[in-house]
Amino acid sequence: MLTAILLMVFASGCKKDFLDLKPLDQEVTSTFYKTEDHAMQALVAIYDVLTYQSSPGKAWAPFVTISDILSDDSYAGGGDSNDGQDENEFNTYNIPTTSLITHSIWIKNYIGVFRANLLLEVIDGIDASDDFKKRLIAESKFLRAYFYLEQVRYFENIPLITETIKGPSEYNQEQNTPAEVYNQIALDLVEAIADLPELVTVAEAGRLTKWAAQALLARTYLFYNGVYNAELEANGTVVNRAYVLDQLEDLITNSGHDLFPEYETNFKLAGEFGIESVFEISYGDTPAWWDWNYVRGGAGNLAAQMQGPRVTGSDNWDRGWSFGTVSHKLVTDMGNDPRVAHTILFEEELDGSLNKGYQHTGYYSKKYSSDAEHWSADGQFELNRTCNHRVIRFSDVLLMAAELGSGNAQSYMDRVRARVGLESVPATPENIFTERRLELSLEGIRYYDVLRRGMAYASQELTVVGVRGPKYVDDQQVFDHTFNTSTKGFLPIPQTEIDLSAGTLIQNDGY
């Protein structure tokens, strides 16, 4: 049966109409993959995996929440030490090979890869125009690249699978080198850039553009080049600093993307799919979801639920779970920067009754939180947060281009700072990294920016001992953690996967 690719719609509102396709539960593989409608359902199935933040029987693992807990931006948090035990393993860099969060991440990304591979294999047999097929192929390649980038940045040593598994003889896939995986990501994105549209209609908001692919290629290159000190190669095309910078300059000059006049608009409903959003994942409350046993069937943003303060009786905040409590180190690093008011929610701002949970710091994320604007209209409120994930913003694009040595580096840096009323500072590498810290905090980006600067820098930044804010609750040891350089910042390969592979998969260093 085709139930593996027929799904519940993940988006809400008329903006996401292109995803609003009903499952045809009587279809079987012998009659499927014939029409444009079939192809669109298969495409929506790939997009749907972008919203997965849990795997049944495993654990909740929203990308923003987990990545920020790994960084120095956030602690694990939660209701108590038992509630946040799995997350605290990430916070303290003592992650067991049996981690349910790790396994959830692994499963999610390979589901996405499988669905992309499947559509790429059957698209030639679809009765459709060449233009229709080219666009779907480009979208599938982008999405495959996205899932592989998340997977390889988390795990480093992973199998690269570019075709669907055909039978038991192919079950045990060996790990590829990081270079092989990153080169495939680069190839998929270079090819996607050529065929993705520059514009999408309002009804298609959420579908991919050429500009999104250019930006994701830059993010891929900066991490790979920083960690491995090497260039990418896409089937004969050398994807180096100059190549990537050309892509970003094209984006900056021709895409129509720009900065919002007000920084805070980025994280409001009014800013969804706005001029600053280059790549955005849609969340919402359609369909209204109630099923705690199959959370990923709904469309709500779990990061917003998890990171919200545990407040009751409030007009402005609705019973979050206080995971990812923000560190005093981030508060100190941001200082008096104007963006702090729109990045960090301070305990003093809360109305209602606050329940101080585990690793209470007095600070919460304001970018992805349980604020009133993102309350659902229907369904179980925890499962229907209507807060989109802004994966790549135009400000990030400007700072990436500046870092890559654009001749316009100073003006790009100035644009980002002037938007929030800050004066110009020299566009030196160190200042650009600092600006990324201020501009992009609590967006799931910090950890990878730190890792790509090397293990000595990671140890310096990610080891946090003796730092205590005025609102911290509990002993200092609850907040101390030391970065484990032996792992190079990568997660363990899930032990279940190693066992299933009959020893084909080899565990990462440090575990």
pLDDT tens, residue by residue, 72-108: 999 999 999 999 899 999 999 999 999 999 999 999 9
Whether this model's pTM surpasses 0.85: yes
With beta carbons less than 8 A apart as the criterion, state whether 204 and 169 touch.
no
**Residue 28: which pLDDT band, with cuts at 50, 70 and 90?**
low
Average pLDDT over residues 406-427: 98
Using CA atoms, how far apart are residues 307 and 390, in angstroms rounded to an integer?
A: 16
Find tokens 């050429």 and name the residue. Answer: 210
Query: Phi then psi for 21, rounded to 5 degrees?
Result: -115, 135
- Least confident range of 12-21, 126-135, 413-422: 12-21
Find tokens 């035990």 and name the residue. Answer: 85
Can you say whether the dihedral through the CA atoms of 394, 397, 398, 399 is positive or negative? positive
Residue 374, pLDDT above cutoff 70:
yes
Residue 2, pLDDT above cutoff 80:
no
Average pLDDT over residues 21-32: 56
Using CA atoms, how far apart are residues 70 and 93, in angstroms rounded to an integer?
A: 8
Which tokens sit at 341? 């008011």
pLDDT in tens, 379-388: 999 999 999 9
Which tokens sit at 56? 């049944």
pLDDT for res 9: 31
Query: Phi then psi for 36, rounded to 5 degrees?
Result: -60, -35
Average pLDDT over residues 150-156: 98
Which tokens sit at 257? 């993307």
* Eight-state DSSP code of residue 281: E
Determine what percent of the chain falls in helix, strand and coil, rounding each to the nearest 5: 45, 5, 45
pLDDT for res 169: 85
With beta carbons less than 8 A apart as the criterion, state whether 144 and 116 touch.
yes
pLDDT in tens, 435-491: 999 999 999 999 999 999 999 999 999 999 999 999 999 999 999 999 999 999 999
pLDDT for res 26: 53
Which architecture, in CATH terms, is 1-59+99-244?
Answer: Alpha Horseshoe (1.25)
With beta carbons less than 8 A apart as the criterion, state whether 229 and 247 touch.
no
Which tokens sit at 364? 């919460």
Residue 112, pLDDT above cutoff 50:
yes
pLDDT for res 170: 86
Query: Phi then psi for 395, rounded to 5 degrees?
Result: -60, -35
Residue type (1 letter), 104: S
Beta strand segments in 184-300, E:
232-234, 237-239, 277-281
pLDDT for res 30: 60
Which tokens sit at 171? 């079950």
What are the structural domain ranges in the chain? 1-59+99-244
pLDDT in tens, 216-273: 999 999 999 999 999 999 999 999 999 999 999 999 999 999 999 999 999 999 999 9
- Least confident range of 51-60, 275-284, 443-452, 494-503: 51-60
3 state DSSP class of 145:
helix
Using CA atoms, how far apart are residues 318 and 386, in angstroms rounded to an integer?
A: 13
Name the pairing type of β-strands 277-281 and 389-393.
antiparallel
- Least confident range of 54-63, 324-333, 446-455, 502-511: 54-63
Average pLDDT, the chain: 93
Find tokens 């905090």 and name the residue. Answer: 441
pLDDT for res 5: 32
